[in-house]
Amino acid sequence: MSFGNLVLVGVALFAILGAVGAFTIAFRRSQSDESADVVDPTAGVSSETLKADKSMVGVRVEPIPVPVIEETGEETGDEVEVEVEVGVAEPEPSPVAIQVVETQRVVEVSPEEAGVTRRQFFNRALNVTFFSFLGIMGINSLAFFWPRLSGGFGSDIDAGSLAEVKSAVFTPTGSILPLFIPEAKAYVVPAPTSLSDQYAGKQVETDGLMALFQRCVHLGCRVPWCAPSQGFECPCHGSKYNSVGEYFAGPAPRNLDRFVVEVRDGRFIIKTGSVIQTSRAPALSVNYPQGPSCIGATSGDEEA
Ligand code: FES
């Protein structure tokens, strides 16, 4: 696995774990809030916020006056005169611990110090998930369009040693058998003895070999080799090309595309990052067809 793929996998795992962690924390918080018998108003508030919160310091709680009835009287014969005095008794000191200070200090608590509400938490979790998703999509898009520097289609593909490639392409019977290189999506074929002017200045041939892109230039079907006719014939709409990829018939607008090739340290290298396009060949440099077609009619100049 390439470094780029590892980075993508790592970012994806990080985003997924982050989202799962966020939702787990939120779920636990909501559970603990609902199950708590006593609501703690300071639950979830950070220690810094509690330290800064002086709202209860300096608050004096006035005692509630309790009415009392005092009975005084003196006996006068058969009657007893009763005087009732209604007053306010001094309440007993409350056992509630209230700190009373001389001066009051009001401290305004900012939203940040007051902690994160559940709504804020969910909003932030959603934002993190959304932007992580966007980031992953962006990285994937970049990786898709970024030219590969090593390995895979889009990079330089080693098709094998030059001797091996030649022995596979040129058969003992004299016919040719294109060597298909799956990683390069290319057929290695013998190059024409005299290269067309269309390729002037372009390295599409080396040591008598060239590499054709397997994709039909009409609508992109893979074009198979037809041994009897010694050409490439597209089964989708009938485009036909000779053994070196020159257009012969069908709706294809041009020759098969080619790759830049070179021999490096005795190896046949196909540069799949460099695709060479050419218009229909004015004249075929290799005869076609040399036998029956694999898909039917073989007449030239068949237009779509
Ligand atoms: Fe090959 Fe249409 S895709 S002829």
* Residue having the nearest C-alpha atom to atom 3 of ligand 1: 219
Tell me which DSSP letter residue 69 carries.
E
Q: Which residues, at least 6 apart from 175, have a Cβ–Cβ distance to it below 8 Å?
A: 227, 230
What's the pLDDT band for 22 if we cut at 50, 70, 90? confident
Residue 85: Cβ-neighbour burial (10 angstroms; 0-12, 13-18, 19+): exposed
Q: Read off the pLDDT of residues 213-228 as tens digits, 9 standing for 90 and up.
A: 999 999 999 999 999 9
How many A from CA of 241 to the centre of ligand 1?
11
| CA 279 / ligand 1 centre spacing (Å) | 16
Q: Which CATH superfamily is domain 156-276 in?
A: Rieske [2Fe-2S] iron-sulphur domain (2.102.10.10)
Q: What is the mean pLDDT of the chain?
A: 79
Going by pLDDT thresholds of 50, 70 and 90, the confidence category of residue 175 is confident
Ligand 1, pocket-test mutation among 212, 213, 217, 219, most atoms within 8 A of CB: 219
Cα dihedral: 186, 192, 195, 201 (round 10): 30
Phi-psi map region of 213: left, alpha, beta (phi>0 left; psi -120 to 50 alpha): beta
Q: Which residues does ligand 1 sit against, CB inside 6 Å?
A: 216, 218-221, 234, 236-239, 250-252
Pocket test for ligand 1, best of 222, 232, 234 (most atoms within 8 A of CB): 234
Ligand 1, atom 4: closest residue by C-alpha: 237
pLDDT digits (tens, 9 = 90+) for 26-62: 777 666 555 555 556 666 667 777 777 766 655 555 6
Q: H or E element: which one contains 96?
A: none
Spell 232-255 as b/e; 16+ CB within 10 A means b: bbbeeebbbbbbbbbbbbbbbebb
Measured from the CA of 216, which atom of ligand 1 is nearest?
1
What pLDDT, on the 0 to 100 scale, is given for residue 172? 82
pTM over cut 0.75? no
Q: For residue 2, how far is its CA from the centre of ligand 1 (angstroms)?
A: 34
Task: List the chain domain ranges.
Answer: 156-276
Q: Find how far residue 19's CA is from the centre of its chain.
A: 15
Whether pLDDT at 188 is above 90: yes
Chain segment 69-80, per-residue pLDDT in tens = 555 555 555 555
